Structure 1
Amino acid sequence: MNRRSLTIARTLTAAACLASPGGALAGSAAQPGQTLGLPTGAQLPVGLYLVDTSSFGVRGTLPRDSRSNVNLPTFAWSTPWQVLDARLHFFVTQPVVAASARGAPYESGLGQTLLAAQLAWDLGGDLGVSYLFGGYLPADTRFLTQSASLSHRFAASYTGNGWNLTANLLYGIFLDTRSPTGTLYPDYLNLDLTAARKFGRWQVGAVAFGSSDLPTGVAGYRPQGQFAMGGLVGYNFGPVTLQAYLTRDVVERNYGGLETRGWLRAIVPLYQDKGEVEPNRTLVTRRQGE
Structure 2
Amino acid sequence: MHRRTLAAARLGLLATCVLGLASGAASAGSAAQPGQTVGLPTGSQLPVGLYFVNLSSFGVRDTAPLGSETNVNLPTFAWSTPWSVADARLQFFVTQPVAAASARGAPYQSGIGQPLLAAQLAWDLGNDFGVSYLFGGYLPIDTRFLTQSASLTHRFAASYTGNDWNLTANLLYGVFLDSRSPLGPLYPDYLNLDLTAARKFGNWQVGAVAFGSTDLPTGVANYRPQGQIAVGGLVGYNFGPVTLQAYVTRDVVQRNYGGHETRGWLRAVVPLYQDKSEVEPGRTLVTRRQAE
Aligned residues: 278
Aligned twin of 1:185: 187
Where in structure 2 are the equivalents of 1:1-290 lying within 5 Å? 15-16=18-19, 24-290=26-292
- Cα distance in 1 between the residues matched to 2:139 and 2:19: 20
Task: Provide the C-alpha distance between the structure 1 equivalents of 2:291 and 2:89, rounded to a whole number of angstroms.
Answer: 17
Any conservation in 2 of the 1:13–1:31 contact (CA below 8 Å)?
no
The 1:165–1:175 alpha-carbon spacing in structure 2 relative to 1, beyond 3 Å, is same
CA-to-aligned-CA distance 1:177-214 (integer Å, 9 cap, x gap):
00000000000000000000000000000000000000
1:224, CA displacement in angstroms?
Answer: 0.5
Structure 1 residues 127-159: Cα deviation after superposition (integer angstroms, max 9, x where no partner): 000000000000110000000000000000000
TM-score (normalised: structure 1): 0.93
> How far did residue 15 of structure 1 move?
2.1
**Is the 8 Å Cα contact of residues 14 and 144 (structure 1) preserved in structure 2?**
no
Aligned counterparts of 1:74 and 1:243: Cα–Cα separation in 2: 15
Q: Alpha-carbon deviation of 1:283? A: 4.0
CA distance in 1, matches of 2:65, 2:142: 29
Q: Cα deviations across residues 208-236 of structure 1 (Å, max 9, x unaligned)?
A: 00000000000011100000000000000
Q: Which runs of 5+ in 1 are unaligned?
A: 1-11
Q: Hey, what's the Cα distance between the residues in 2 that align with 1:196 and 1:188?
A: 26
Shift of 1:18: 8.6
Q: CA deviation at 1:19?
A: 10
Q: Whose Rg is larger?
A: 2
Kindly state the Cα deviation for residue 279 of structure 1 after the two structures are TM-superposed: 1.5
Q: How much does 1:24 deviate?
A: 3.8
Cα pair 2:70 2:99 within 8 Å, conserved: yes
In structure 1, what is the Cα distance between the partners aligned to 2:77 and 2:25?
Answer: 37
For the Cα contact (< 8 Å) 1:13–1:29, is it kept in 2?
no
After superposition, the Cα gap between the structure-2 partners of 1:151 and 1:139, relative to the gap in structure 1 and judged at 3 Å, is: same
Distance change (3 Å), C-alpha of 1:40 and 1:16: closer
Helix, strand or coil for the counterpart of 2:277? helix
Deviation readout 1:148-181 (Å, 9 max, x if unpaired): 0000000000000000000000000000000000
Instruction: Tell me, yes or no, if the aligned pair for 1:19 and 1:102 is still in contact at 8 Å.
Output: no
- The 2-side partners of 1:116 and 1:247 are apart by 26
Residue deviations 1:88-111 (CA, integer Å, cap 9, x gap): 000000000010011100000000
* Greater Cα offset, 71-80 or 280-289: 280-289
The sequence identity of aligned pairs, in percent, is: 83
1:102 corresponds to which letter in structure 2?
Answer: R
Paired AA for residue 160 in structure 1:
G
How far 1:16 sits from its partner (Å)?
Answer: 4.0
- Give structure 2 stretches of 5+ with no counterpart: 1-14
